[in-house]
Amino acid sequence: MSQDIERVYTINLGKVLLSPDNQRAKRAVNMIKEFARHHMKIQQVKIEEDVSHLLWSRGIKHPPRKIRVRMTKTDEGYVLVSKYEAEEGLVESESTSEPESVAKSTSEPESVAKSTSEPEPVAKSTSEPESVAKSTSEPEPVAKPTSEPVAKPDKVSEKPKSKSKD
């Protein structure tokens, strides 16, 4: 084999919760190794340090429920399990291209679309204090009204009277 085979999997680790809470991260490691053996058809599996840190990050009792990994079958005859990180360049280019397509699809002239999407900076007047000028450009967050706690009625010791058949 001259080429490495690489696959990306999301491994469900929900069954880890069936084991005792002081054994869960250990079982998660074993489940990942079993998954790799089953899907990549090689017995020898090596887990990278990043994946191990991710599994053990919240301690032995609370490993993650799911984990996204990249499995690579190497020429040396083992499977390397590494943390999957999506290509950031593709994600950034998609997010930057969306506002342009939205602006063009509104059927407004390009100059009008630019003026609405980019507000011009407001010039500060010298007669106003900075606090007033700042409040006009950036609205302050509004505090949520707090409601007083409602007292629950005390439990009534008497049972409700039932209708008697007199």
DSSP H or E segment with residue 27: helix 24-40
pLDDT tens string for the chain (166 positions)? Answer: 456 799 999 999 999 999 999 999 999 999 999 999 999 999 999 999 999 999 999 999 999 999 999 999 999 999 999 999 987 655 555 555 455 544 444 454 554 445 455 555 555 555 555 555 554 555 566 666 566 655 565 655 555 666 666 5
Under CATH, domain 5-83 is a member of which superfamily?
Ribosomal protein L31 (3.10.440.10)
CA 54 vs CA 41, 65, 70, 84, 146: distances in Å: 25, 11, 14, 11, 39
Farthest CA pair distance, the chain: 96
Contact between 25 and 60 (Cβ < 8 Å): yes
Question: Does pTM surpass 0.75?
Answer: no
- What does the radius of gyration of the chain's CA atoms come to, in whole angstroms? 30
Secondary structure of residue 166 in the 3-state scheme: coil
CA angle, corner 102, sides to 101 and 108, nearest 5? 105
Between the two ends of the chain, the Cα-to-Cα distance in Å is: 95
Contact between 119 and 112 (Cβ < 8 Å): no
